[in-house]
Chains A and B, each alone.
Chain A
Amino acid sequence: MNDIVDPRSLDRPNSYIGRSVPRPNIRKLVEGAARYVDDVILPRMLHAAFVRSPHPHARIVRIDVSAALSIPGVVKAFTGADLAPHCEPWVAVLAHLKGMKSAPQRPLPLDVATWAGEAIVAVVAETRALAEDAAARVVVDYEPLPAVTDMETALDPATPVIHADLGDNLVFERTNESGDVEAAFRTAHKVVSATFHTGRHTGVTLEPRSILADFNRATGQLVVHHSTQAPHMIRDVLARHLRLPEADVRVICGDVGGSYGIKVHVYPDEMAVAVIAKLMGRPVKFIADRLESFSSDIHARDHRIEGRLAVDAAGRILAFDIDDLTGIGPYSVYPRTSAVEGNQVVNLIGGPYDFAHYRARTTVVLQNKTPTCQYRAVGHPIATAVTEGLVDLAAEALGMDPLDFRLKNLMADGSYPRTSPAGMKFEGLSHVESLEALRKMIDYPALRADQVAARARGIHRGIGFASFIELTNPSPFMYGIGGARISAQDGCTVRIDPDGTVLAATGVTEQGQGTEAIIAQIVAEAVGVPMSSVRVVTGDTLATPYGGGTWACRGAGIGGEAALRAGRATKEAALVVAGSMLQAAPDTLDIVMGNIVDRAGGAVRMPLSELGRIVYFRGDTLPAELPRELMQTRHFITTQFPFAFTNGIQASWLEVDIDTGMVNLLKHWCVEDCGRVINPMLVDEQVRGGVVQGIGGALYEHCVYSPDGHLLMGSMADYLTPMAAEMPDIEVGHVETPTRESALGAKGAGEAGTAGAPAAIMNAINDALRPLGARVFAQPFTPARILAALGRIPTETA
């Protein structure tokens, strides 16, 4: 019964794992019947709005809220000093990131504003509109301070230090080195190098950050409705920093309109709302609006990377040498920290390739801009762009075809388990099989022929590739060992109800990506019931097993395995009862589509609802000593590998208008290996959505700052998210290399698209421009940057 899941035969009973079944919650979402935090309305509820700093860096001299409080319906205003006694400050560092430092952060700052958009004063009122009216009348006198904006000079002695207690603006630095890099470069046949920039951007969620905190003075309980990825982590944070027993904090996460990593962090304004609710004994709601989201949601990927790659005369990669610099804003973000992105870069560069010598350094510095932290595919798009950009340069320098060069250097499929020069442990990857699958999908010779023919007509098309690895199914090695109270374990409880329906409560969460659907598929198959009989509960710390929630692509691999084990245990328990009722040995019985059947022959013996009826209502008819445990909980945590790496390869086919610098995406392909595919349709959607977000970073999305630290874009009109009209068809192919750490065999699939797309786009643009001697390495690849690379216009700072 507990075999490794093998979906190759989809005609077995209850065969939901491996099937593209529609997600049960989709109708609710598309009909507007979902329940988001803003849909929750409580008696005596107040609304919060924030006065935000217009300055990147300024001393707060005086705050006058009297005019704001004079507006009828405005209840109270809070400054940093008002909240400080009621909330422990937090410092976002991780012990395993040696030497990392950051400053204590509070819900509202006490005396210095450190980025334009930082919440300074909270106002609560009967309505959000009134709260905004009041916020507009709060007077804050600032004394502007020089802002640290350029990460290149953040550590210069002449640059002001943002937090004097830290001594400098350095948060973290690490050099990841193995082999003899200097010797490898000295003896190399060719060395290629480039300086890459990844543009600071952010994850734009349809539902903005939302919180409704409700403190009941009579019970001492804080109930928080929160749009979050990690309800248990948020409960832990609220309990510790508001000095409440963990058991008195309940976090309820209803439907969530997208997260992408944005909603797995502790935001000071949200903490302020919880503190205010506790102080006032009234429910307080805060729904971030789109404008304040741009300056207060975390940003990501503000990196400059200098990279070198050495190859020998046979075309084999010898060494990577990387220097990464990233600016993270004025605070490391709690509790995951803002050093992880840079740390991922130095762990992931060169990841797909077989080579010996490696050196990658990251330097993480403070600046007076919106804090950055983990956003979908954390570090991967950066590492992949640098790796694959250098790989293409090397292939070009050797006069080799980029696919042939990759094939020569990719880790061989049979060579696992192995450890990369960066120290990453790989259980099993399929780079070569994936590349060959992609080569077939794209009809490579036809594309190259088309490219040549188009060039003859003055049309510049390019094809770009990006092999990649993706870190999924994280163990405590990601955060737990650093002291963060972030669960890498997850659990699932499965219960058979009297009518034979099945309830599954899981610690992983639904953000709109389909977690509830795959949990229902797994549980339906494991217990032996139709999927329509399964109901899934997520996102309530009072109702689900303790778990980490949604991050780092762990829902399917960790939460899914827990669900499989809980489902199988529940089935076993039910068959014990069934055996007693039917006078049969439990192992001669099975449950198929909601019926107890004979394992041999499949004859239906009784419906599961009959078993439920007897257990719950006529337990007197069963032997007294018979266990009737129709509810089972199982947990899962990975133990053999720190992460279950996945892999894949993407290709982009596009056209560059060399007169306007505009890029027209013609087609995109991705072959990825996320281990066991539970629902191919959902995996394809994840890959496509991820590719689109990767395209956003490559071509469109950019949080642009003025040299003095003001965010220049502020709305959906000037922050360009990728839109359907510009997106190419995205074809997705799969190779399956299941992880052996679990019976399910699933790894994560949510970040692969984002990890590889920017590199593929960059390489395709540079492939198109190659005959013209132009190259671009700074994302986003805007028309102006492409024209400047072509020498059609001078490089402008705009």
Chain B
Amino acid sequence: MKSPPLGYVRAMDMPDVFRLRANAGPDARVLAGGQSLLPTLAFRLSDPGTLIDITRVDALRGIRLVADGALRVGALTTHAELGRDALVRVRVPVLADAVGLIAHPAIRNRGTIGGSLAYADPAAELPAVCVALDAVVIAVGPAGERRIAARDFLTGLFTTALAGDELIAAVEFRPMPGRRTVIHELARRSGDYAMAGIVLAAGPGTPTHDPRPVFFGVGDRPILATRAAACLAVGGAAALAAAQAALDGDLDPPSDQHGGPAFKRQLARVLLARAVNSLIDARDAR
């Protein structure tokens, strides 16, 4: 299919972005990697009238350490850049691990972290990582920057806390010494959206210390499984089984093409066990 008739404008800096957006009206969409937006145009599922290309805006680029030791990842950082960045690998290695699970190389070469968060697909990897790591989304609008916790940013199915005139400038990951995070997902084929996935952060020390299991692909957004987390925190031989059982209270998965709620819950239980075991394995390997 062909896109509906579209205007295209390219912003060169942030003031440009705000000016062009104000001119283009509320239906206009920001174009970054285009990996979700462009297919919806080709499917004629959206008709934004104008696309505002932000890919030349330098202020939205780059990966660097900021004053409080946090890692700031610019919104335009592509998945491929994230996956090969040396700072990321040292500071937030699970981001690089997640990249390996995102679609295919061609998509990783264009898709961006800002785009992934703004699109807020509940089966996407990076939003779940951001929630598990308690990352901060930095929204920027004409009035300036706003810091929003990732868990508050993702408000539902394909919806976020971004205001109409805002866009994502960057995502910040606080330093968390000694904390370990793993990501697992189950997909029918390599590169598919996961049937279910988990990001589990825990530590420092044992996996029972402040565990933060976040599931994706089983709800309308990344789901922090608080009951299961509480069970894991208790520790001991029965903790995992208790946590798996507690997932019934944490998750209310909708059906999708792969299966119904019971299927999704089964996968979630398996993922929880695999994530916990891989944290233990990682600890043992040291």
Whole-angstrom CA separation of A796 from B192 in the bound complex: 22
Which stretch in B81-89, B165-173, B257-265 binds the other chain? B257-265
Q: Which residues of A contact B3 (CB under 8 A)?
A: 129
Q: Which of B52-60, B92-100, B183-191 contacts A (4 or more CB under 8 A)?
A: B183-191
A782 contacts partner chain B, Cβ-Cβ < 8 Å: yes
B189 touches A700 (CB 8 A): yes
Q: Write out, one digit per residue, whether chain A residues 712-726 have a CB within 8 A of any chain B CB (1) or not (0).
A: 110101101011011
Are the CB atoms of A783 and B193 closer together than 8 Å? no
Residues of B contacting A796 in the complex (Cβ-Cβ under 8 angstroms): 255, 259-263
Interface residues of B in 148-190 (CB under 8 A from A): 186, 188-190
- B267 on the A face (CB < 8 A): yes
Which residues of A sit under 8 angstroms from B261, Cβ to Cβ? 796
Q: Are B266 and A291 in contact (CB under 8 A)?
A: no
The contact string, 1 if C-beta is below 8 Å from chain A, for chain B 190-202, is: 1111010000000
Please state if B5 and A133 are interface contacts (CB–CB under 8 Å): yes
Tell me the complex Cα distance, A793–B265, Å: 9
B189 touches A793 (CB 8 A): no
Does B256 sit within 8 A of A, measured CB to CB? yes
Name A787's contact: one of B44, B257, B263 (CB within 8 Å).
B263
A796 to B43, CA, bound (A): 30
Task: Give B3-45 as 1s and 0s: 1 = Cβ < 8 Å from A's Cβ atoms.
Answer: 1110000000000000000000000000000000001000110
| B286 interface hit (Cβ, 8 Å) | no
Q: A717 contacts B186, CB within 8 Å?
A: no
Pairwise interchain contact A725-B190, C-beta atoms closer than 8 A: yes
User: How many residues on the B side are at the interface (Cβ–Cβ under 8 A)?
Assistant: 28
Judging by beta carbons under 8 Å apart, are B259 and A782 in contact? Answer: yes
- Tell me, yes or no, whether B270 is within 8 Å of chain A by CB: yes
Q: Are B192 and A720 in contact (CB under 8 A)?
A: yes
How large, as a class, is the contact surface on chain A?
20 to 34
Total of A-B residue pairs, C-beta within 8 Å: 83
Complex contacts, A424 vs chain B, CB 8 Å: none
Q: Which residues of A contact B2 (CB under 8 A)?
A: 127-129, 132
Smallest Cβ distance from B7 to chain A, in angstroms? 15
Contact between A783 and B188, CB atoms less than 8 A apart: yes
> Does B1 sit at the interface, judged by CB under 8 A?
yes
Main secondary structure of the interface of A (DSSP, over half): loop
B192 proximity list for chain A (CB < 8 A): 717, 720
Docked complex: A743-798 residues within 8 A CB-CB of B: 782-784, 787, 792-794, 796-798
A426 to B125, CA, bound (A): 55
Q: Is A136 on the interface with B (CB-CB < 8 A)?
A: yes
The verdict on A660 contacting chain B, using a C-beta distance below 8 Å, is: yes
From B43, B191, B257, B262, contact of A718 by CB (8 A): B257
User: Shortest beta-carbon distance, B49 to chain A, in Å?
Assistant: 13
Task: Give every chain A residue within 8 A of B189 (Cβ-Cβ).
Answer: 700, 720, 722-723, 725-726
Instruction: Assess the B255–A798 pair: CB atoms within 8 A.
Output: yes
Partner of B270, one of A133, A659, A797: A659
Q: With A704-B257, A782-B258, A784-B258 known to touch, is A798 a contact of B263 (CB < 8 Å)?
A: yes
Set of chain A residues within 8 Å of B270, measured between Cβ atoms: 659-660
Q: 19 A-B residue contacts at CB 8 Å?
A: A127-B2, A128-B2, A132-B4, A133-B5, A291-B1, A659-B270, A704-B257, A713-B257, A722-B189, A723-B189, A725-B189, A726-B190, A784-B263, A792-B266, A796-B259, A796-B261, A798-B255, A798-B256, A798-B258
Shortest 10 CB-CB contacts between residues of A and residues of B: A796-B260, A784-B259, A725-B190, A129-B2, A798-B255, A798-B260, A793-B262, A784-B263, A659-B270, A289-B1
Q: A660-B267, A783-B188, A796-B255 are in contact. List 6 more A-B contacts (CB 8 A).
A: A289-B1, A717-B192, A717-B193, A723-B190, A787-B266, A798-B263
